[in-house]
Structure 1
């Protein structure tokens, strides 16, 4: 078989154990899943209203242009509809961008650790990946610039960064954009943008920097992860160039309807943001009280360093029905990433962690 050589060294994405798997494995009835940065508050009731009153035919292909969702998104963000591209989650958009620009002989620059699909997609296209280590959880923008050369096609900025949650402020992003060569595409991944409490209008950069595309998603604060809808925002010229690579019917009819309904309930989004901030502060206090280091986060998760094997911590919590993400696969072998859940869920996690640390002290 004539496989691409680079494909033979890739691993398929490994999702964590499902709720049903954990129930069976440990004989548990109740499970709290805080491993994938989903919205523990669910989604807007407007979504159920829309899905319960459908007037569609499932035998007909969905609107390949996502017209209703496109109009709603453009209206909310005050954009031209031609500035938007919709995708099957932002994972697909990462693939679309990489397929459009990367090939053998070209390279792409990214932070390390960051969202792993940037590197995965680049390897699929046979491009060189240049990873620049984070500095205290933040992108090292100066060294990322130094890593670029005439063969650099894309630079990826995850803001807030996953898995650290650190957020680059406006002036630093602007100064970076001003120095990036005009033929290098800057991808600003804002999957967690709606959780940010110190945000700025990054969309204003689109007019100023024609080599910029911003990615956002309905999987996080909108609570629609299973519908798989993401989108990109850029100049009409960049969007028009990317469109032929997008599969014709990549967002399904239910996803388009759910996302459109979710957009219309910005009060729900605001409530989730406030609750997330309140619960994050409780984790900060817990860490400070127990001398645990962590990165202050502007996402709906926190990365906590326990100073011991992350898999062991995650497995210990798993046995108690608490699914979190080991940092070992994320580049932080002694840390655990915990999605910020509801108040009662977070209290259970902290109680379990306190028990774990008490046992360690006893030893």
Structure 2
């Protein structure tokens, strides 16, 4: 039997949360709620849904627009950039993989925080590179320590802002300090999957360095606040030279026509974004209050989820699961919960109250 190269065999596959239907079937329960994958609990914009319905009737027999012309132009107008400075991907996950395959050679190093989004490390290892993990400090990226981890072999540096799984963010001052010291020839990948949820005015301005034509790639997604996780579509912004190289690696027709049309309509619906943020902000305040009353100290979040240090997290996860509440265990000493609808948040809290949880 053919064998994969050693660096591929050593990979541990990403294990996503199970669908609600599968868990209910396995556990013999009904009416579960999923608060594990940081999805928008109210779903996509009605305008996006109409675009999806229309797309099923008209375009399925034709290949999609391989260049994403209309979506790129809609994004370009919204963000005040050129279409040539945008790349469209099958979710921002695909764009992470494209960036790594474009700029990282076997043996090169990439610096990233830990814990952070696991796909960074997976993409680097799959390309034969070496992932250099730098521990978080106070639950957020320690950008000074990450800078110190840079070596002559470093080609990429990943920053999730806000970070997944902790929900913390890096400030303008911290990011400016990093960018003032990092050497040329290192691609700084800023994953802003949750940036629409940020309320802190000190949030780092990654676009400042894009406009200065620095080696930076900003990644965003339609899977979170736009509610289009099931369609898998995201985008990247970078200087045109970087986008040109990535497009050489990008597969043709990598995003489907329905996803492109839905994304265009989702971008236009500002009311839906405002509504989604409002629900998230209210849910966050409610969960902070209730968790604190239970003696749990949640990490302050700038995203649509809350990271909670708890003892014996796997046991808590399993008990919540049998109560029909699906959260995400984050190792032995923490869980992450998506901020849901008011009734979902209350059900999560009520389930927690029945457990003896120690922060």
Scaled by the length of structure 2, the TM-score of the pair is 0.95
* SS state at 1:188 partner: strand
Following superposition of structure 1 onto structure 2, how do residues 27-66 of structure 1 map, counting pairs within 5 Å? Answer: 27-54=28-55, 56-66=58-68
Q: Paired residue for 1:116?
A: 118
Q: Which runs of 4+ in 1 moved over 6 A?
A: none
- Report the CA distance between 1:60 and its aligned residue: 1.5
| Partner in structure 1 of residue 20 of structure 2 | 19
Moved more, 235-244 or 205-214: 205-214
CA contact (8 A) 2:194 2:304 kept: yes
Q: Does 1:303 align with 2:302?
A: no
SS in 1 for 2:220: strand
Say if 1:50 and 1:261, in contact at 8 Å, map to a contact too: yes
Q: Map 1:329-344; keep pairs closer than 5 Å.
A: 333-344=332-343
The 5-angstrom pairing of residues 1-363 of structure 1 reads 1-54=2-55, 56-198=58-200, 199=203, 201-307=205-311, 309-328=312-331, 333-357=332-356
Deviations 1:169-196 (A, max 9, x none): 1121111111111110000000001111
Structure 2 CA distance for aligned equivalents of residues 253 and 137 of structure 1: 39
2-side partners of 1:299 and 1:230: how far apart?
17
Partner Cα distance (1:41, 1:202) in 2: 29
How far off is 1:2 after superposition? 4.5
Normalised by the length of structure 1, the TM-score is 0.94
Distance 1:4 1:103 in 2: 15
- Quick one: distance in 2 between partners of 1:294 and 1:11? 29
Alpha-carbon contact 1:22-1:321 (below 8 Å) kept: no
When residues 210 and 303 of structure 1 are mapped into structure 2, their CA distance, relative to the original with a 3 A threshold, is same
Pairwise CA distance, 1:200: 5.6
2:124, 2:244 → 1: CA distance?
21
Deviations 1:210-237 (A, max 9, x none): 2111000000000000100011001111
- Whether the 8 Å contact between 1:196 and 1:273 is mirrored in structure 2 is no
In structure 1, runs of 5+ residues without a counterpart are none
Question: Are residues 207 and 299 of structure 1, via their aligned partners in 2, closer, same or farther at CA, if it must alter by over 3 Å?
Answer: same
3-state SS, counterpart of residue 110 of structure 2: strand
Aligned-pair CA distance for 1:106 = 1.1
- Give the CA deviation at 1:27: 2.2
Once the two structures are TM-superposed, the CA of residue 304 in structure 1 deviates from its matched residue by: 0.9
Q: Give the Cα separation in 1 of the matches to 2:204 and 2:131.
A: 29
| Structure 1 Cα separation of the partners of residues 35 and 313 of structure 2 | 15
Distance 2:131 2:310 in 1: 30
Shift of 1:17: 2.2
Using the TM superposition, give the Cα deviation of residue 25 of structure 1 relative to its aligned residue in structure 2, in angstroms. 2.2
Single out whichever of 139-148 and 45-54 deviates more from structure 2. Answer: 45-54
Asked if structure 1 preserves the Cα contact closer than 8 Å seen for 2:213 and 2:239, the reply is: no
Distance in 2 of aligned mates of 1:290 and 1:29: 27
- Aligned residue for 1:136, secondary structure, equals coil
CA contact (8 A) 1:94 1:121 kept: yes
Question: Any gaps of 5 or more consecutive residues in structure 2?
Answer: none
Q: Aligned partners of 1:113 and 1:272: how far apart in 2? A: 27
